[in-house]
Amino acid sequence: MGAQLATEVSINFGSSVAGLLIPVIGAPVVVAARQIVMVLVVLPLARPQLKKMTWGRIWPPLALGVILAVMNLSFYQAVSMIGLGVAATIEFLGPFALALVTSRRLLDFVCAAAAAGGVFLLTWSDGTLDVLGIVLALTAAASWFCYILLTRRVATQFPGLEGISIASLVSLVIVVPIAVFTLDLSAFTWGIVGLLLLVGVVSSAFPYTLDTFILRRISPRLYAIITSFGPVIAAGFGALVLGESFTALQQIAIVVVCVAAGAAIATQRDRPTSDLELTATAIP
């Protein structure tokens, strides 16, 4: 549990630093920098043996690489449009949905409705909606849903960091051309480069490699329980680092989402592995 809390703090701190960089150099460049750092850290430790792999073995890390690219690009762009606290709260609906997808309890439906109401209050507290920002955050949420399943499958099929190294390379291949297309070299300073390196370490290299080991040892449901702290951590860093301010109604909405999610997930009984978890862990 402590390890996953560390990843939550690390990722959200990195996202807050990224929020400082995005207006200057753009979300694609920040995401590309994250993936470059990730590859530089992971690849020397786990060089994949691609020639020996069948399609059935290689497709999960390939898919994970695509998901990483989509998740990070959509989330960072959402942060630039609706703020870190709001974007992170919406994104959290991904692991929440994963925990509830096979549930049939009335309590879970009540908690899901409360979480949806909290998100609505959070995004429409001033009477306006940034539709594109919300759609991007929801895209990040759906990607996180897939990320948890794929990371668990990759972690159980590949030794060490070999699977995540393949995924990192795939993500890098996707995001670098987009970053190059939007690159403005005149915006770069040594300070910007230093912050990009920091974002790469605390947002990708550290938490994603740690997730590989965490998801070998815990279920996606337990992972989602611990992740329910994420929106509050993100809102805190949004306020401290980015100077974001939240109305009383928005603060209540963030707490409602976290409490509803935590209550729904934590009160579930252990049960036989669901079809989704079987999909995540089965070896073809």
Question: What pLDDT sits at residue 50?
Answer: 67
Which of the pair, 256 or 1, is modelled with greater confidence?
Answer: 256
pLDDT at 280 over 60: no
Q: What average pLDDT does the structure give for the chain?
A: 82
pLDDT at 116 over 60: yes
In whole angstroms, give the CA distance from residue 15 to residue 35: 14
Question: What pLDDT sits at residue 159?
Answer: 77
Name the nearest CA neighbour of 74 among 16, 139, 148, 19.
Answer: 139
For the stretch 246-271, pLDDT in tens is: 888 888 888 888 888 777 766 766 55
Answer whether 0.85 is exceeded by the pTM: no
Least confident of 16-20, 53-57, 115-119: 53-57
Mean pLDDT score, 110-136:
81
For the stretch 200-244, pLDDT in tens is: 899 888 887 777 777 677 666 666 666 777 888 888 999 999 999
